[in-house]
Structure 1
Amino acid sequence: MNALSPLRTEISRLWHQVNREMRSLLDDAFRQSAMPPPVYFMLREIVREPGITVSELSRRVAMVKSHVSRTVDHMADRGYVRKESDPADQRLIRLYATAPAERELEQTDRRVCAAWQSLVADMSAEELAAVEQGLRILLKTLERNATTRPREKV
């Protein structure tokens, strides 16, 4: 195994620290909401694509299908999601957000947005541009890497 260069080791350490701090920042936003993060991320996808299936939803949120299925059942019990059989294929269940869920999603979106705004409020335009550029480079590298590595079934 090759030892990582000091710069790569520092990037790894910084990434871990940024991830932990972002989780903490967003946890505060979600604490004020009745919607836990997994429900929020799933509901966003259901609102984006009404009629999405559990299988497609699990791919989009990168979670195991059984976990997504249990969460969707919980969301349906709470009145956030309506499940309907696909008229063309009765084996498929289509998911639709309810009006109360969409309102709660909007409120949670505002809290998450406010958390982001508070984070970047003191950053200069140059700092924001540097962060954006760094994230674009990282995303491009991740996408390139994703095409060359074997994919796990989600």
Structure 2
Amino acid sequence: MRRSERKAASPDLGILANRALHAVQRELFRTLAEQGHPDLRPRHGAVMAFIDEEGSRATDLAQQSGQHKQVIGTLVDELAALGYVRREPDPDDRRAKLVVPTERGLDQMQRSDAIVGEIEARHAAAAGEAAYDAFKRLLRQVGEAPPADGDAGVTP
């Protein structure tokens, strides 16, 4: 049996996680486009999924999303050009900058949270609340488990 056939017949954790991520992203970004945010792409989620309403430091966004700080910087530049965020001095450290959502960014964040909530409610109804809660707990456990070599400090 060819490897591709084996993976199709019995997908591993990485393939299953990838399929789940892309299914959620397809629905989320299609719906966001229909609701007035057609210029966002899944890559922007590394910022928009983690940013706080009052703003976040780029270093925090990088840590939370698992992306390099340089990637976050590029995404912030794109999102600023699209009108979703702006950079402001951090009131707690004037040397640092905060990435702050604009009114457009806040609208997207609210809509995105509602859309994902609807997706989750639909899956919970289909699987049953208890099974869906157990699935999310297990997925979180797998995602937060340290790697076998113990080197949890390396980001992708």
CA distance in 2, matches of 1:45, 1:136: 16
Q: Which runs of 5+ in 1 are unaligned?
A: 1-11
Supply the RMSD in Å over aligned alpha carbons: 3.1
Contact between 2:90 and 2:96, CA under 8 Å: does it hold in 1?
yes
Answering whether residue 27 of structure 2 is matched by residue 28 of structure 1, we say: yes
Distance in 2 separating the partners of 1:53 and 1:130:
33
TM-score by length of 2: 0.70
Unaligned runs of 5+ in 2: 1-9
Aligned equivalents of 2:55, 2:18: Cα separation in 1: 34
Deviates further, 79-88 or 97-106: 79-88
CA separation in 2, counterparts of 1:150 and 1:46? 23
The match for 1:114 among 107, 111, 118 is 118
Larger radius of gyration, structure 1 or 2? 1
Question: Which residue number corresponds to residue 57 of structure 1?
Answer: 61
Cα pair distance change 1:90/1:146, threshold 3 Å: farther
| Cα deviation, residue 60, structure 1 | 1.6
The within-5 A match list for 1:76-91 is 76-86=80-90, 90-91=94-95
Matching residue of 2:43: 38
* Higher RCO (Cα < 8 Å, 6 or more apart): 1
- In the alignment, the residues of structure 2 paired with residue 76 and residue 118 of structure 1 have an alpha-carbon distance, to the nearest angstrom, of 33
Deviations 1:88-141 (A, max 9, x none): 75542222111221111111222222222222222234533542553465356x
Measured against aligned partners, the alpha-carbon deviations of 1:4-60 in whole angstroms (never above 9, x if no partner) come to xxxxxxxx9342343133123212222222332332341243225x34222222112
Q: Aligned-pair distance for 1:80?
A: 1.2
| Identical positions, percent | 20
How many equivalent residue pairs? 141
Q: Is the 8 A contact 2:57 2:97 kept in 1?
A: yes
Within-5 A mapping of 1:2-13: 13=11
Secondary structure in 1 matching 2:50: helix
Residue 68, structure 1, aligned to residue 72, structure 2: yes
User: TM-score, normalised on structure 1?
Assistant: 0.71
Whichever structure has more helix as a proportion of its residues is 1
